[in-house]
Structure 1
Amino acid sequence: MECVIVGFAVLSVCQAAALPNFVLLFADDLGYGDLGFSAHPTALTPNLDRLAADGLRFTDFYSTSPVCSPSRASLLTGRYQTRSGIYPGVLYPDSIGGLPLNETTIAEVLKPLGYATGMIGKWHLGYGANGTYLPTRQGFDHYLGIPYSHDMGPCHNLTCFPPDVKCYGYCDVGTVTVPLMNGETITQQPVDFVHLEDAYSNFATDFIRSAAQKRQPFFLYYPSHHTHYPQYAGWKSVGRSLRGPFGDALLEFDSTVGNILQTLEETGTLDNTLVFFTADNGPELMRMSRGGNSGLLKCGKGTTYEGGMREPAIAYWPGVIKPGVTHSLSSTLDILPTIARLAGAPLPKVQLDGVDMTDILFNHGAGQREAMFYYPTDPSEKYGVFAVRMGKYKAHYYTRGSPQSGTTPDQDCQLISFLKYHDPPLLFDLESDPSENYKLNVKARPELASVLQNIKDLKDRFEASMQFGESEIGKGTDPKLAPCCNPECSPKPKCCQCLTTH
């Protein structure tokens, strides 16, 4: 019998033993300072706080991009988005491209072992002709959700909060209204935001119960739309937080997390389930109080400062992962190889950028990640990575502001802060200065010259290994591809039958 020994836990990977279950929670546009356990004074997140108190909380955890689609690609594949071609920017309803089908997702890693695979929420990795890039084509047996961001459609006349509070803003007015899909079928268009989270919660709990009844291991991926703009919430959450619309949306997400945990307990699967929570990128500060909070970190969404890519993260597994805090450098890239190790699944036969986190999870060890490389929203071989973190040090080779972080008083975050090359690079000690306020004086501290040289060597080796895939977003758009089954849709592609709301 082959067994993997991880610290004090002995995890059997033989078929005779019960394979572990996995629940992956992925928030949207959530800042480092947005949650109750990260000391936001009016955030109401009791279930996430429970995970943080009883699980392992990461202080130095990173996404690979400061925007949505590329960060999701790297989460699911364990590879930087530049390899799979999910750049520059994000995919749209009418995008021709999507996550290439030859990329291997976490769901595709687990399915050959007999896992049930389910997803609820925001996909944002392509729709394509005839649903080419939907989750059901990428390893997921079951899917209920919106195939892209829920602001990618006109929303000004839709209800975001009961009884009839209209969505704040106009969202994208140049495309079809946002659809809700069950599998590959549109069941509602435009989506009913007030009841959407109830549908997600019910779908998730039914999925867990079904797998438990069949004694089948399962993988549930829940990339929430919360707390992306425009915020929305249903009757159970509206008006309950002190933080306004953002707080109510965050509470609704937290409530679904609570329902998932309760279902795991009721089905007797909690003690055999790794629950992992993190987020795709930092807060959209241009929305001000409706956009989230990066806490003590600099800037937010759209930037390669810490606020754009450093995220809250928690690993929770009762009786297996000891509660605590880790400062080990980790990333969304590391989730696929970690899950593969725990399930005893072979890794994809491609170059991975993720590393196994089991030493961190079970021993609270230092982990295997040597560095983190920060790509901008529009990565290119010409400029390469904008910044590198090695240990406690971070070197910025390029800096640039973003309209998505444009309302902050810090001019470095704003759009007027144009691309700037730094030679020598700006160097910060993130342990003593996580806000990136005080650049280190390399001339006054000669010992830092070797730090910069080591970082440069890492950067050079990494960039030499990087092969940019063909840009999927660069393939352009075709309005006929936008999913639509409402007779009022314009353009109206060839489509299905669906229930509509008006």
Structure 2
Amino acid sequence: MDYFMVVISVLATLILPTSWGSQLPNFILLFADDLGFGDLGSYGHPSSETPNLDKLAAEGLRFTDFYSTSPVCSPSRAALLTGRYQTRSGVYPGVFYPGSRGGLPLNETTIAEVLKPLGYATAMVGKWHLGVGKDRMYLPTRQGFDHYLGVPYSHDQGPCHNLTCFPPNIKCFGYCDVGVVTVPLMANETIKQQPVSFPDLEEKYRDFATQFISSSARRTQPFFLYYPSHYAGLGAAGRSLRGRFGDALMEFDSTVGALIQALQDSGVHNNTFIFFTADNGPELMRRARGGNSGLLKCGKGTTYDGGMREPTIAYWPGRIRPGVTHELSSTLDVLPTIAAMAGATLPRVPLDGVDMRDILFSHGPSKRKAIFYYPTDPSEKYGLFAVRVGKYKAHYYTRGAAHSDTTPDQDCHMISFLKAHDPPLLFDLEADPAENYNLATPDHPEYRPVLELIEAQKVQFERGMVFGQSQVAKGSDPTLQPCCNPDCTPKPTCCTCS
């Protein structure tokens, strides 16, 4: 009888997507910006008000060991959408800027492009940050998305002096770029507003996303909605217990509630897989106005776990049983998992992701054996900064970052320069998630086999890694910056429209 049940379980993971019913499943991919492991109520924050995300966590599967591939935006987004490390696609070092010549290469295959041949409607709303380029060649509409509303790069990649981020007239906080155009809001490939109005941005996103869900459902067309969020908004100003960051997080959470309601109103709630995670850890330099890493060490810009380990939730009513998983998983695994659910053909290129269906539907083991940590500026000279196998993580190099300045931990700061470790530092992330107690010392010779196992994984991985041409290293051209009045002078100040 036990053997029979094992066979049935294996067949269940291999069965064709028609087992979901007569319709293909819908997919909603929520990708938060600069969110820390300790930022959600369901992950232990005492004053964050995220009732809708917490409900998804309670009724879905909550991950404790899920990782982004990079501690900064552009590379982590490239890896999510392609299932390939940013080193393969060339989205390194660092991030794209308004006038970047490069972008996510058009020969890379995104989740949207995987689903399009099956008849999916595809839409993206929010922060793209994978390039604009000449003649808008790198925008989402050129990467498999039928519809796009959003900001093509980060909200602080433009002059923010005297811009209102929060109502009634609270100015944007922190550092922003100068000498470039103000941040635009784009619909498909057209600039709708420049500078974007941050206080009502989330409302625009919510309306766009819910209308896309409703219209797709009316046509009985399966859909894929990718929603990488920004944090700014009118709807929750002054309402949370956590200040401005808490207000923005609360408003994003209310959009999640609106999406769920749209699914229910459209009759497709039970046929929709929702996956929530984030691009990288919190920007600690913003102090209490930024995110929180919880127990984890450091944050954005670093390869400590606070920079790359993310709160993650999978939700599908009637399909995914509520619970918590401690299995290793990565943003790389999203594309092959969605492709398997839809019965789509995988891209014919080396993929770094694995299918997560065993975790999602059986609370079973992960096919992923290791997590590999690249810095913001990966290179073949230095290779991986850290590797995790099982519960153990080895650091071959460590370095702080400006994004993680201001915390009491000096290891996080920008002035904590590159350090090589031989033997590597070794931490037990189950007993010591804050990476405080190095096990690779003469007092602990019993850990030598662990280091040898991790080293073997590192060597095997790096042997198979082929670095693509760096897209960020192509540099910038001021004439490529998005401008709603392309023939106006003097730039960039004349690039304004409402």
Q: Deviations over 1:167-198 (max 9, x none)?
A: 22451122000100000000111101111111
Query: Are residues 1:500 and 2:473 paired?
Result: no
- Identify, as 1 or 2, the structure richer in helix: 2
Q: Deviations over 1:223-243 (max 9, x none)?
A: 0012xxxxx321x21011011
1:221 counterpart residue number: 226
Distance 1:381 1:222 in 2: 33
Distance 1:351 1:21 in 2: 26
Equivalent pair of 2:179/2:492 in contact (CA under 8 Å): no
Query: Are residues 1:24 and 2:29 paired?
Result: yes
1:9-88 equivalent positions in 2, closer than 5 A: 12-13=17-18, 17-88=22-93
Distance 1:112 1:218 in 2: 12
Distance 1:252 1:333 in 2: 28
Q: Deviations over 1:31-77 (max 9, x none)?
A: 00011111111101011011111000000000000000000000000
1:403 counterpart residue number: 402
Instruction: Select 1:121's aligned residue among 122, 126, 130.
Output: 126
2:393 counterpart residue number: 394
Distance 1:33 1:50 in 2: 16
C-alpha spacing 1:337/1:4, structure 2 compared with 1 (3 Å): farther
C-alpha spacing 1:28/1:416, structure 2 compared with 1 (3 Å): same
Superposition deviation, residue 12 in structure 1: 2.8
C-alpha spacing 1:267/1:254, structure 2 compared with 1 (3 Å): same
Superposition deviation, residue 204 in structure 1: 0.3
Distance 2:452 2:442 in 1: 14
Superposition deviation, residue 164 in structure 1: 1.8
1:420 counterpart residue number: 419
Query: Are residues 1:233 and 2:233 paired?
Result: yes
2:377 counterpart residue number: 378
1:482 counterpart residue number: 481
Structure 1 unmatched ranges of 5 or more = 227-231
1:364 counterpart residue number: 363
Indicate the SS of the match to 1:449.
helix
Distance 2:9 2:82 in 1: 23
C-alpha spacing 1:494/1:174, structure 2 compared with 1 (3 Å): closer
Q: Deviations over 1:455-500 (max 9, x none)?
A: 11110010010000000000000000000114877536999xxx82
2:113 counterpart residue number: 108
1:263 counterpart residue number: 262
Distance 1:358 1:443 in 2: 42
2:348 counterpart residue number: 349
Indicate the SS of the match to 1:384.
coil
Distance 1:287 1:427 in 2: 30
Instruction: Select 2:141's aligned residue among 136, 144, 159.
Output: 136
Query: Are residues 1:491 and 2:491 paired?
Result: yes
Distance 2:493 2:483 in 1: 7
Distance 1:170 1:370 in 2: 39
Distance 1:383 1:5 in 2: 41
Distance 1:99 1:4 in 2: 38
C-alpha spacing 1:135/1:490, structure 2 compared with 1 (3 Å): farther
Query: Are residues 1:167 and 2:164 paired?
Result: no
1:314-325 equivalent positions in 2, closer than 5 A: 314-325=313-324
1:282-361 equivalent positions in 2, closer than 5 A: 282-361=281-360
Give the paired residue count: 490
Distance 1:6 1:278 in 2: 29
Q: Deviations over 1:125-182 (max 9, x none)?
A: 0000010100000000000000000111111211111222222245112200010000
1:250 counterpart residue number: 249
Equivalent pair of 1:156/1:168 in contact (CA under 8 Å): no
Distance 2:92 2:333 in 1: 20
C-alpha spacing 1:66/1:15, structure 2 compared with 1 (3 Å): closer
Equivalent pair of 1:299/1:308 in contact (CA under 8 Å): yes
Equivalent pair of 2:423/2:440 in contact (CA under 8 Å): no
Distance 1:333 1:340 in 2: 12
Distance 2:270 2:20 in 1: 18
1:186 counterpart residue number: 191
Equivalent pair of 1:9/1:320 in contact (CA under 8 Å): no
1:229 counterpart residue number: none
Mean CA deviation greater in 37-46 or 465-474? 37-46
Indicate the SS of the match to 1:187.
strand
2:5 counterpart residue number: none
1:435 counterpart residue number: 434
C-alpha spacing 1:345/1:288, structure 2 compared with 1 (3 Å): same
TM-score by length of 2: 0.95
One-letter amino acid matched to 1:165: I
C-alpha spacing 1:493/1:171, structure 2 compared with 1 (3 Å): closer
Indicate the SS of the match to 1:447.
helix
1:152 counterpart residue number: 157
Root mean square deviation of aligned Cα: 2.0
One-letter amino acid matched to 1:237: A
Q: Deviations over 1:316-361 (max 9, x none)?
A: 0000000000000000000000000000001100000000000000
Distance 1:194 1:86 in 2: 31
Distance 2:170 2:267 in 1: 40
Equivalent pair of 2:181/2:493 in contact (CA under 8 Å): no
Indicate the SS of the match to 1:474.
helix
Q: Deviations over 1:257-291 (max 9, x none)?
A: 11101101111111011000000000000110111
Equivalent pair of 1:156/1:169 in contact (CA under 8 Å): no
- Sequence identity, in percent? 70
Equivalent pair of 1:479/1:491 in contact (CA under 8 Å): no
Superposition deviation, residue 5 in structure 1: 6.9
Distance 2:315 2:485 in 1: 42
Distance 2:362 2:20 in 1: 25
Equivalent pair of 1:176/1:489 in contact (CA under 8 Å): no
Distance 2:378 2:18 in 1: 39
Distance 1:493 1:75 in 2: 34
Indicate the SS of the match to 2:311.
strand
Distance 1:204 1:467 in 2: 37
TM-score by length of 1: 0.94
Distance 1:261 1:372 in 2: 32
2:94 counterpart residue number: 89
Distance 2:226 2:22 in 1: 23
Query: Are residues 1:201 and 2:206 paired?
Result: yes
Distance 1:383 1:6 in 2: 43
Equivalent pair of 1:9/1:362 in contact (CA under 8 Å): no
Equivalent pair of 1:88/1:378 in contact (CA under 8 Å): yes
Equivalent pair of 1:6/1:359 in contact (CA under 8 Å): no
